[in-house]
Amino acid sequence: MPGFEKFSDLERKEVNDVLETGVLMRYGFDGMRNNIFKAKDLENEIQNRFKVKHAQLVSSGTAAVSVAMALSGVGVGDEVIMPTFTFVASFEAILMLGATPVLVDIDNTLTLCPKAVEKAITPKTKAIMPVHMCGSMANLDALKSICKTHNLKLIEDACQAIGGTYNGKALGTIGDAGCFSFDYVKTVTCGEGGTVITNNDDYAVKADLYQDHGHDHVGNDRGAETHPYLGYNFRISELNAAIGLAQFKRLDEFLDLQEKHYTILRQELNSINAIEFRTVPNGGVESYAFLNFFLPTLEIARKVSADFKSEGIDVCFHYYDNSWHYVRKWEHLKEAKSLYPLPESVKQGLSNISKQDFSQSDHFIGRNISCLIKIGWTEEEVKLRALKMTEIINRHI
C-alpha cells in the first residue's frame, strides 16, 4: 500500500516547482506563484480519474471525514452509524462535530453489516458511514437502499481502498460524499493530506469554504472575501499537494503492483482448505491494498499471528488484539476521556458502547488476519513470503 515506497524524481520535481516560487499556500500570491497551483491540479486529476464532479483537498483523511459530515449537516444530537472495525479517525471525525458515533457490527465483508445497520437506526440517525477497510467494500446497494428508505446520508470512508470499484464506479463516488486519506502510509501519499469527493454541487461549494475559514473564494482579494458560513482550517499546503500530484499520476502503476502481489499470495494460500478469504460483495473489485482471510478459530489466529511476527512475516495484523482498529481496545472512547466537556447526547451514546454485544464482530475479527500488500516488494520476495506464510498456517491447523 504505501506509495512512499516508490518515491522518485517525479515527486522531487513537483515539490521543486513549489520551492522555486516559494508560495506554499494554495490561495493568493498570484504575482509570485508563476501560475503554479499544485492543489488545484491534484483536484483536477482526482476528478478526472474517478469521474466525479468535485474533489476538495484537505489536510488529512480525518479532516475529509469531518468535512463530509459537516456538508451532510451532521451535528449535536445526531447519530452516525459506523462499524466496530475501522481506524479511530471514524469516531474522531464524528465527535468533532458534536455528533454521536453509533457502533455497529461488521460481517464477513469486514465492513458494515446491513442487517445490523437497520437495527441501529433511530429517529436521531442522520448518516451511515461504511468504511472500506483493507481495500474492500460493504454491500453498498443494501446500504444505499436503507439510506433511501430512512432518508439518511451515505458517507464513504474509502481511505484504505483508493482504486477499488463497485458496479464499475470508483469507491468514494457511490454515496453522497466519499473520503480518501493521503497520509504517509496510504497507497497515494502527500505526507499528510486527504480529499472529499462528491457529485453534489451544493456540497462542493460548502466544502470549498468550510475547509478555509468560510472564505467564499470569489474575486482575487482574499481580505475582501465574504464568509457565507462558519468554517475552519483544514487546508492542504502546496508542498503536500505537490507530492500527492506526482503520486496520484502513478496510481495505476501502484494498483497494478498491489494486484500482482496480492494475487501471488492468494494463489499460494488458496491451497489451505481451512482458510476462508473475506467476502467481496457482488459487483465489487478490491483495491488489493490488503489480503484478508479468516482462520478457523481465535486461538489459531493468535498462534499464526505470533509466528508470523517472530519469523519475519511483517505487516500482517491480527486486529482483535490491536488497539487501533477494533472496538475491543477503544477504552478512551468507551470512557469518554475527552479533554473538554462533551454534549450530554454524546456522553450518553458513548456510555452505551460497553453494554453492546459485539459477538458478531468478534466472530470475524477474532479469526481475521489482514496482510498489507507492499508495492516495494520484489516478485521473488512475495513468492518466498507466500511459501513461508503457508508453512506457518499449516503448522497450526
Ligand X SMILES: *Cc1c(COP(=O)(O)O)cnc(C)c1O
Whole-angstrom Cα distance, residue 234 to residue 232?
A: 6
Task: State the nearest-atom distance from the C-beta of 3 to ligand X, in Å.
Answer: 13
If DSSP codes are grouped into helix, strand and coil, which group holds residue 166? strand
Decide if 186 is catalytic.
yes
Cβ-Cβ contacts under 8 Å for 288 (sequence gap 6 or more): 135, 255, 258, 259, 261, 262, 263, 373
Q: Is 61 in the site for ligand X (CB under 6 A)?
A: yes
66 binds ligand X (CB under 6 A): no
Please select the residue that binds ligand X; options are 56, 60, 66, 198, rule is CB under 6 A.
60
| Candidate ranges 40-48, 58-66, 225-233, 237-245; the one touching ligand X (CB under 6 A) | 58-66
Q: 191 or 304, CB closer to ligand X?
A: 191
CB-nearer residue toward ligand X: 136 or 160: 160
Stretch that binds ligand X, among 68-76, 154-162, 267-275, 371-379 (CB under 6 A): 154-162
List Cα–Cα distances, 233 to 67, 183, 237, in angstroms. Answer: 11, 17, 11
Closest CA to 330 of 319, 345, 344: 319
The CA distance from 210 to 204, in Å, is 10
Cell 482498529 sits on residue: 325
Interface segment toward ligand X; rule CB under 6 A; list 155-163, 234-242, 279-287, 341-349: 155-163
Tell me if residue 28 falls in helix, strand or coil: coil
- When binding is defined by CB under 6 A, the residue of 26, 38, 57, 62 that contacts ligand X is 62
If we measure between CA atoms, which residue out of 281, 278, 288, 287 comes closest to residue 368?
Answer: 278
- Tell me the three cell numbers of residue 85: 472495525
Stretch touching ligand X by CB under 6 A, among 25-33, 45-53, 54-62, 352-360: 54-62
Q: Is residue 89 involved in binding ligand X (CB under 6 A)?
A: yes
CB of 348 to ligand X, least distance (A): 25
User: Which 186-245 residues touch ligand X, going by CB under 6 A?
Assistant: 194
Residue with the shortest CB distance to ligand X: 61
At its nearest, how many Å lie between ligand X and the CB of residue 63? 7
**350: Cβ contacts below 8 Å, ≥ 6 apart:** 100, 101, 333, 334, 335, 336, 342
Contacts of 79 (CB under 8 A, 6+ apart): 99, 100, 101, 102, 122, 124, 125, 126, 349
Quick one: cell of 310? Answer: 517472530
Q: Which one among 131, 146, 170, 291 touches ligand X, defined by CB under 6 A? A: 131
Active-site pick, 38, 126, 153, 186: 186
- Of the pair 23, 94, the CB lying nearest ligand X is at 94
Cell of 300: 489459531
Among candidate residues 287, 283, 266, the one with its CA nearest the CA of residue 275: 266
**Minimum CB separation from ligand X for residue 259, in Å?**
19
- So which residues are the catalytic ones? 186
Q: Which residues bind ligand X (CB under 6 A)?
A: 60-62, 86-87, 89, 131, 157, 159-160, 181, 183, 194
